[in-house]
Amino acid sequence: MKKILVVESSPLAEASVSRRLTKDVVAALLVEHPGSEVATRDLAARPLPHLSAEALSAFAAAPEARSPAQREAARASEEAAAELLAADVVVIGAPMWNFGVPSALKAWIDHVVRAGKTFSYSAQGPKGLAAGRRAIVASASGGIYSEGPGEAMDFHAAYLRAVLAFIGISDVSVVRAEGLAIPGVQETAYEKARGMVAAAAR
Ligand SMILES: Cc1cc2nc3c(=O)[nH]c(=O)nc-3n(C[C@H](O)[C@H](O)[C@H](O)COP(=O)(O)O)c2cc1C
């Protein structure tokens, strides 16, 4: 039994390909780990605020020294980071937007990548504190970025891998539905990605 955290970021509902893929990934994870708990954080339905000056000052202060306003400003981040650290597997629904991730997902990253919580600095450099977890990214894009000329423009999967590795999660599988805007590719893009789901969940 595992604890699975699903992070959704597409504002589209039924029409979202990344949401379809996260559902497929969760179904495959439940086959591998029956009875697992699934929690969902929907960043489109409940967006996190951008980090404020108050939140940053709260992060810099010891928890017991925070003012009520600082505690309130840090609350979203405390909750999101705790939720991430409570999970064994994180499934991230990630549409590609302008070669990167939607700002709703970036805001979540800004809230969960926290010094002292999910990473620390030492004389040896940064250390990820979220090790032992794995992540599966369900990516959707209009173009193709896993190979060919688009590869150099992939600030999406490559970025997610880098930031997850920074907090210690280096076991990352990326399932890509790509070429969703390319005639001749789009017709089979989702099915092709779905074919990768079982292996990613294993
Ligand atoms: C605001 C916006 C920006 C996008 N930027 C890109 C992009 O840079 N590259 C790309 O290949 N597709 C881009 N797309 C297409 C999406 O990646 C594609 O529609 C994908 O299916 C979105 O995921 P979703 O279906 O889960 O919402 C963009 C779509 C939107 C709405």
Average of per-residue pLDDT across 39-46? 98
pLDDT of residue 145: 97
Q: How confident is the model at residue 188 (pLDDT cuts 50, 70, 90)?
A: very high
Determine whether the shortest distance from the Cβ of 155 to ligand 1 is under 6 A. Answer: no
State the residue range of the domain holding 27.
Answer: 3-201
| Ligand 1 mean position, distance from CA 145 (Å) | 12
Looking at residue 11, what DSSP letter applies?
Answer: S
CATH (domain of 134): 3.40.50.360
pLDDT of residue 144: 98
User: Which among 116, 96, 104 is positioned nearest to 50, based on CA atoms?
Assistant: 104
CA 17 – CA 129 distance, rounded (Å): 31
pLDDT of residue 192: 97
| Among protein residues, the one whose CA lies closest to atom 25 of ligand 1 | 16
The total number of residues shown for the chain amounts to 202
CA 130 – CA 111 distance, rounded (Å): 14
pLDDT of residue 165: 98
Angle at 122 between CA 167 and CA 115, to 5 degrees: 45
Determine whether the shortest distance from the Cβ of 180 to ligand 1 is under 6 A. Answer: yes
Residue of 12, 14, 97 to mutate, ligand 1, most atoms within 8 A of C-beta: 97
Tell me how many domains the chain contains: 1
Query: Could you give the percent of the chain with pLDDT greater than 70?
Result: 100
Q: How confident is the model at residue 59 (pLDDT cuts 50, 70, 90)?
A: very high
Q: What is the pLDDT of residues 127-180, one digit of tens each?
A: 999 999 999 999 999 999 999 999 999 999 999 999 999 999 999 999 999 999
| Ligand 1 mean position, distance from CA 70 (Å) | 36
- By three-state DSSP, how is residue 199 classified? helix
Average of per-residue pLDDT across 49-76? 95
The residues, any chain, with a CB within 8 Å of residue 186's CB and separated by 6 or more, are 179, 180
| Ligand 1 mean position, distance from CA 95 (Å) | 6
Tokens 């959707």 belong to 140
| Among protein residues, the one whose CA lies closest to atom 28 of ligand 1 | 97
CA 25 – CA 136 distance, rounded (Å): 8
